[in-house]
Amino acid sequence: MTKIGIIGGTGYTGVELIRLLSRHPMAELVVITSRSEAGKRVSDIFPSLRGVCDLAFTIPDPDSFKSCDVVFSATPNGIAMTMARELLEAGVRLIDLAADFRIKDIDVWEQWYGMKHACPELVPDAVYGLPEINRDEIRKAKLVANPGCYPTAVTLGFMPLIKSGAVDVTDLIADAKSGISGAGRGANVGTLLAEAGDSFKAYGVGGHRHHPEISQNLARLCGTEVGLTFTPHLVPMIRGIHATLYAALRDAKNTDAQALFESSYKDEAFVDVLGPGSHPETRSVRGSNICRVAVHQSGNRIIVLSVIDNLVKGAAGQAIQNMNLMCGHDEKTGLDVVPLAP
């Protein structure tokens, strides 16, 4: 059994980790921390976990994690990096669901996240945890930077086109929408029902933290800098991300985008390429680790539709997918969850 610890178990990604790990046949949850709820039983805070998780929250203490094989950090940005060095020195493998280790350029990271990085020496060795790109590196990793939700949907949507050289990478457009849970569980006026319900808006148009992460991913795929316009939106639903992606084909007459996507993802358990003319819906992936994509070709313009559950493939599910790879388990273990419907 793989002994598991979770730093920060009271947020949405934390409770998703507990939900999914509780049914993982090779995982044993041994410690879950929370400063705000220390001493309280997990199932008292989240009744959905009654009879599933009998642990109580504890105060975060690096020593309590040293018996773990893998620790997930489901905390806000800037927390994991303060504990990473000590955990790694103790032989614990760390998967950070925040952004502390995603961006390789420390100056860029500090500019976007507004703080000094606590352990920049660890960043070069951190593996970006998108299995569809970095599967072999993840298997050997001690420190994994779990991707952001928007970057997951956008990168998987663009990847076949960019890797094949089929599109002009100087003018890529990502128009993405997220459910409110993407903002986290903390109280915020902008995510109140009376504020966000019956409404739809763009945000971060002048610059969003996921922009440099997406650009880094796409640049790695093609070996050169990319031109990306990324605009996120908030929609009045709880879960889900829908990314509509646009690019110009270099040779439209000789490009079969549908065949390209199908061949690129034919062996991927968690990427589902829909048939020609399809329109994936966020509800079709709710609660699952699946990314569903559809591709539309119109003249020299290509349009890709990519949907994920932001809390699963966009966070906790992908983190468990990474854990499976790191620990030698089958990649799909514990993640064979059928999406919820309706």
SS (H, E, C) the chain: CEEEEEECCCCHHHHHHHHHHCCCCCEEEEEEECCCCCCCEHHHHCHHHCCCCCCECECCCHHHHCCCCEEEECCCCCCHHHHHHHHHHCCCEEEECCCCCCCCCHHHHHHHHCCCCCCHHHHHHCEECCHHHHHHHHHHCCEEECCCHHHHHHHHHHHHHHHCCCECCCCEEEEEEECHHHHCCCCCHHHCHHHHCCCCEECCCCCCCHHHHHHHHHHHHHCCCCCEEEEEEECCCCCCEEEEEEEEECCHHHCCHHHHHHHHCCCCCCEEECCCCCCCCHHHHCCCCCEEEEEEEECCEEEEEEEECCCHHHHHHHHHHHHHHHHCCCCCCCCCCCCCCC
Q: Rounded to 10 degrees, what is the CA torsion of 212, 267, 243, 173?
A: 60
In the numeric block, which tokens belong to residue 151?
């970057």
**pLDDT at residue number 68:** 97
**pLDDT at residue number 184:** 86
Residue 339 resides in a domain: no
Query: Which amino acid is located at 140 in the chain?
Result: K
Residue 90 resides in a domain: yes
On the 0-12 / 13-18 / 19+ scale of CB atoms within 10 A, 30 is: middle
Same domain for 66 and 33: yes
Gap between the Cα atoms of 232 and 226, Å rounded? 18
Gap between the Cα atoms of 174 and 15, Å rounded? 29
- Contact present, 210 and 228 (Cβ < 8 Å): no
- Contact present, 237 and 180 (Cβ < 8 Å): yes
- Please count the other Cβ atoms lying within 10 Å of the Cβ belonging to residue 298: 9
Number of structural domains found in the chain: 2
Same domain for 177 and 77: no
Side-chain-side CA neighbours of residue 191 (13 Å):
16
Residue 143 resides in a domain: no
Each residue's pLDDT tens digit, 8-54: 999 999 999 999 999 999 999 999 999 999 999 999 999 999 999 99
Domain that holds residue 305: 150-310
Same domain for 239 and 198: yes
Boundary of a domain, candidates 85, 109, 125: 125
Tell me what the mean pLDDT of segment 230-250 comes to: 97
| Residue 185 pLDDT grade (very low, low, confident, very high; cuts 50, 70, 90) | confident
**pLDDT at residue number 191:** 86
- Contact present, 295 and 264 (Cβ < 8 Å): no
Gap between the Cα atoms of 242 and 274, Å rounded? 15
In terms of Cα–Cα distance, which of 123, 285, 149 is closest to 213? 149
| Residue 211 pLDDT grade (very low, low, confident, very high; cuts 50, 70, 90) | very high
Catalytic residue among 53, 68, 119, 149: 149
**pLDDT at residue number 192:** 87
Gap between the Cα atoms of 250 and 239, Å rounded? 35
Residue 69 resides in a domain: yes
**pLDDT at residue 188 greater than cutoff 90:** no
Same domain for 88 and 16: yes
CATH number of the CATH domain containing 60: 3.40.50.720
Same domain for 161 and 100: no
Q: Is 68 part of the annotated catalytic residue set? A: no
Same domain for 305 and 161: yes
Gap between the Cα atoms of 117 and 108, Å rounded? 11
Same domain for 216 and 84: no
Same domain for 250 and 113: no
**pLDDT at residue number 123:** 98
Tell me what the mean pLDDT of segment 132-140 comes to: 98
- Contact present, 132 and 291 (Cβ < 8 Å): no
CATH number of the CATH domain containing 220: 3.30.360.10
Q: Position of tokens 């105060």?
A: 59
Q: At what angle do helices 317-327 and 131-140 cross, to 10 degrees?
A: 40
Mean pLDDT of the chain: 96
Residue 320 resides in a domain: no
Residue 214 resides in a domain: yes
Residue 328 resides in a domain: no
Same domain for 121 and 193: no
Residue 239 resides in a domain: yes
Same domain for 15 and 49: yes
Same domain for 154 and 46: no
Percent of the chain clearing pLDDT 70 (strictly above): 100
**pLDDT at residue number 218:** 98
Same domain for 81 and 32: yes
